[in-house]
Each structure stands twice: as structure tokens, then as C-alpha cells.
Amino acid sequence: MKIYNSLTGKKEEFIPLNEGKVNMYACGITVYDACHIGHALQAIVYDVISRYLRYKGYDVTYVRNYTDVDDKIIARANSEGVNAIEYSKIKIAEAEEDLHAIGVRDADKKPKATEYIDKIIAFVDGLIKKGHAYPTENGDVFFDVLSFKDYGKLSNKTVEDLRKGVRKEIAPGKRNDLDFALWKSAKPGEISWTSPWGEGRPGWHIECSAMSIDTLGETFDIHGGGRDLIFPHHENEIAQSEALTGKPFARYWIHNGLITVNGQKMSKSLGNSMTIREAVAIYNPDVIRYVMLSNHYSSNLDINDNTFTIAEKHMYYFYSSLLNMDAFCEGFDGKDSPADEIIDAIEEKFVQNMDDNFNTSAVLADLFPLFKYGNSLLKCKKNVREENAKKIAKLTKAVRRHGEVLGLFEQNPADFVEAMKAKYIKAVGITTDEIEAEIALRAAAKADKNYAEADAIRERLSAKGIIMMDSSAGTTWDIEFKTVGE
């Protein structure tokens, strides 16, 4: 298995520190506002990575933190006239609901920064004693960047390069413009804790170092987060952690891309942001996960007017195919399936793609020819029906086994299909009763040999994306998703 390691800038063979065991940390949510789909992307990426590592047989300890004390949290809590800690508790509960709604499993450990104040203080004190940090007269404590010779190794920049991107005003008592806060002195209206340097609270970067080292050890296997965290957050985590312990911090650094909307950064100010709750109110969780996983995790995901509609179309195809295939292979489990070149290669292809830096986009792309083949097996003569049923049973079993890694195909196909149909016909302004009435009128027209009227009815429904299918058993209907511009 190969992983692109941001620390070295190349794909590397993944070899865990301890054979068979993987310790993994992903930066979680700073709970100052409702979770948006950018949070969904990051949570789903590391959810799938942890699932796949378990699929491979590793004993995984996955830690995803919550930042529950921060400048933005304090500002928002103060504006709403509530205690910052209580505000964070409410927002964490909401975040948990949001993540569960899109199928994100709980991490093994979910530490909160406020639970680690004593350990953070001890961490900061240790850095001061080792000469890597210094307190100021007003009670702030800063990390001395120049004391750590490898500063910049994650972002692959020199100290001089990094200096160009920071503000030139230096805070009182700060020695260097790149030095960052480990401990912030208390300000009026802010929550604070007692420390050797006076009342204050931890800086953002030190929180993650303290939590990850406490839960996973001084050196652990994987650290993940959004690409926007490479500098300064992750660079600072490495500096303060390795300065304290003298050991390598995380061995593999994984960074996911960000979400853009029509090529622009997603933000409230541009009016193009979407919360997870807003997304779930409109789209099925499998559709949301499909969108997030159809793009390679390391690339930015650009969302446009058609993105979710295309995902709905694809997931509807997969689920309706599963519905038909399940009915066809009922009573068979696929264990004694005859040899089949395509079906027998499913597992190998899945592992090959996922072993290549968790290439979920390739996994999803492979589903289309696979489902096309599965559907072709449904159209067979009686003498090969049992043989094909066994093959299809093996195919659907593999799809669901791999779907469990991706967090897809865990819903009842009939429920998914009916829900999507109901949503679609509501959107185009027609009811099931009206469709059935049109089908009855068409049947009557055909019986009267009024084929022009029968064709007109078909065209009327087709204009709304309702497709009629005739068979010896009668006429049924289905939906045809249309993207913007079609």
C-alpha cells in the first residue's frame, strides 16, 4: 500500500511503526459555527481511510479531536451571551449529529482541547525548560521558531520564505515574527485557566500536539487534515512536538483538498456555502458521500449546479440495478459461483485502487462497467439462469463489501429507489396517481388503436423525465435525471 506523504513530497510504501497496528490522528472541527460540506469532505476522507485500514486487517486507533476553545468560539459565544464552554458543548452535539447523518463513524477517541489544559500547561512548561519557548511580561508564551532547525520541512519552505507571508507587526514581547503562541494571556470577557504564567488559555497549535501525543504516543503513523492546515498549523505541530520529545512526530502526513464552488472558495461572504444539515435536507447521505469520494482526496473538489444531480443519477442507477439483481439472485449466496473473469477480478481491482493512495475515484469509476455487466447477466435464457444468479450474487456481495469501506450501498435498495422517485416527481410537479392515470389512458388509447394519442401521452411524460416501459406484465415507469442545461 502506498500513501502520498506530504512530509517527503512523494508516494511511499506504508509501513506502520508497529506491525499490524496503525495509530492515526485527524484534525477535527473547531466548533464555532454549523458544520459545512467542507467539514463533510474531510470527515468522510479520514472515515474511509480508517475503514480501509481495518479492511486490510490493521488494528486501528483513530483519533479525531474537537477544538472547543478558540478565538472564534469565544467571539461567537460572547455575541450570543453564553458561556464559551457551554456553547462548544452544544456545537459538538450538533456536529456529532451532522457527521452521523452522512454516515461518518465515530473515531475511537474524540478528545476535546478543554479536557487537556493540565497536559497542555505541562507541555508548554517543558518547551520553556528546553529553551524552545519563552514567556512574556504580559503572560503570553511563544514558541521560538529559530530554536527548531527543521522548521519549514512540511511546507517545504525556509524560514525566510515563510516570513514573507506573515504580518510584519510583532506582538509585545515576541522575539520573531514567525514565533507562535503556545499560551495566550487572559483578556476581558474570555474564558481562562490558571497557569504558571498567569490566567490564560492555550494556543490552537499546542492543543493538537498535546491531544495526539497523549492518545497515540510521541511518534505515531498518520496525521491527516485539510491542505489549508499545512502551514502554519501542522508545521507548528511538528516543531513544538519534536522540540519537546526529540523524536519524529507523525510519520505520514495526509492532506485532503478543499471544496470550491464554480471555481471560487466556498464562504459565507460569497453566499455559496452549504451546511451539512442543508445538504442532508436535500440529498441522500449516499449521494453526498459519492460526491466527496468521486474526486481524489488530495485534489480540490469543485461543486457546480450539476454536481449533486449527477451523483443522484449515478447512485439511482446503482441502487436500482442492485434492486433488480437482488431479486434475480434471491436464494443464492454466490459461494459456489462459476468462474467469471470480470467478477473474479473485483477484489483485486478494489485493493489495487485503494492501495494506490486511497484512490476512491478509481473505485467508483470501476462500478459502471461492473454494473453494466451485472445488468447484462439479467437478460439470459432459462438454461443459464441459475448460473447467472450465482454470478450476480457474488457480484452484489462484493459491491456491498467494498461499499462498507466507502460508506455506500448500506441502504435498502427498494427504499432508496422509492425515495428518489418520490423526490424527483415532486420536483417536476407530478404525482404517482397522475402518472398511473396517464399510463391507463395510454393503455386505453393503444387498445383503441389510437397510436397517435398513445405516443402523445408517452411524450408528455417523457418531457418531465418520466419513462414508460412496456412488457408482457404491463407498463411500469421510471425516472430519468436531467442535469442543468439538458
Which conformational region is residue 189 in: left (phi greater than 0), alpha (psi within -120 to 50 degrees), or beta?
Answer: left
Q: Is residue 297 part of a domain?
A: no
Q: Is residue 298 part of a domain?
A: no
- Check whether residue 257 and residue 217 sit in a common domain: yes
- Check whether residue 466 and residue 346 sit in a common domain: no
The predicted structure's pLDDT at residue 164:
75
Q: Is residue 185 part of a domain?
A: yes
Rounded distance, CA 135 to CA 141, Å? 4
The predicted structure's pLDDT at residue 361:
98
The predicted structure's pLDDT at residue 407:
99
- Check whether residue 232 and residue 117 sit in a common domain: yes
Query: In terms of residues, how long is the chain?
Result: 486
- Check whether residue 435 and residue 396 sit in a common domain: no
Rg (CA), the chain: 27
H or E, element range at 257: none
Q: Residue 362's domain is classified under what CATH number?
A: 1.20.120
- Check whether residue 180 and residue 94 sit in a common domain: yes
Task: State the residue range of the domain holding 394.
Answer: 306-414
- Check whether residue 29 and residue 178 sit in a common domain: yes
- Check whether residue 436 and residue 371 sit in a common domain: no
- Check whether residue 314 and residue 200 sit in a common domain: no
- Check whether residue 372 and residue 460 sit in a common domain: no
The predicted structure's pLDDT at residue 227:
97
The predicted structure's pLDDT at residue 69:
94
The predicted structure's pLDDT at residue 170:
76
DSSP assigned state of 416: H
Q: How many CB atoms lie within 10 A of CB 119?
A: 15
Q: Is residue 46 part of a domain?
A: yes
- Check whether residue 374 and residue 455 sit in a common domain: no
- Check whether residue 53 and residue 188 sit in a common domain: yes
The predicted structure's pLDDT at residue 335:
85
- Check whether residue 435 and residue 409 sit in a common domain: no
Q: Would you write out the chain's pLDDT as a tens digit for each of its 486 residues?
A: 999 999 999 999 999 999 999 999 999 999 999 999 999 999 999 999 999 999 999 999 999 999 999 999 999 999 999 999 999 999 999 999 999 999 999 999 999 999 999 999 999 999 999 999 999 999 999 999 999 999 999 999 998 888 876 665 677 889 999 999 999 999 998 999 999 999 999 999 999 999 999 999 999 999 999 999 999 999 999 999 999 999 999 999 999 999 999 999 998 888 899 999 999 999 999 999 999 999 999 999 999 989 999 999 999 999 999 999 999 999 998 888 999 999 999 999 999 999 999 999 999 999 999 999 999 999 988 888 999 999 999 999 999 999 999 999 999 999 999 999 999 999 999 999 999 999 999 999 999 999 999 999 999 999 999 999 998 889 999 999 876 544
Q: 109 pairs with which residues across the strands? A: 63
Q: Is residue 268 part of a domain?
A: no
Q: Is residue 359 part of a domain?
A: yes
What's the number of domains the chain is made of?
Answer: 3
Q: Residue 123's domain is classified under what CATH number?
A: 3.40.50.620
For residues 207, 213, 218, 223, the Cα torsion angle rounded to the nearest 10 degrees is -80
The predicted structure's pLDDT at residue 129:
99
